[in-house]
Structure 1
Amino acid sequence: MSKELKTGIVLIIVIIAFIWGYNFLKGQDLFQPNNRYYKVEYNNIGGLTKASLVTLNGLKVGKVDEINLNESPEKRGHLIVQFSMHNDFKFSKNSVVKIYSPNPLSGSNLAIIPSYTGEDAVSGDFLKGEIESSLFTSIGERLDPIQSKLEKVIVSADTLFHRVNNVLDKKTSESLRNSVQELELTIVDFRTTLGSVNSLMNESSADFKETLKNTKSITANLSKVTDTLANSNIGEIMKKAEMTLSSVNSLLDGMDKGKGTFGKLVNDETLYNNLATMSKELEELLKEMKLNPKRFVHFSLFGKKAKPYNEENNKVNKTTQ
Structure 2
Amino acid sequence: MKLSREVKTAILVILGIVFLIFGINYLKGKNLLDSSEVFYTEFDYNALTKASPVTIKGNNVGRINEIIYVIETGKTRVSFAVDNKLKFSKNSKIRLYELGIMEGNGLAIITADDDQYAQSGDFLQSEVEQGLITSLTKNFSGLSTGLDSTLKSADSLLFSLNGLVEDDSEAGLKHAIKELNQTLSSFKTLSGSFNSLIAKNQDSLTAVISNFSTISKNLAILSEDLKDVEISKTINNLDETLSSVNALLAELDKGEGSLGKLLNDDELYNNLEGASKELEELLEDVKLHPKRYFRILSKKEIPYEESEN
TM-score tier, shorter chain, comes to: 0.3 to 0.5
TM-score w.r.t. length of structure 2: 0.44
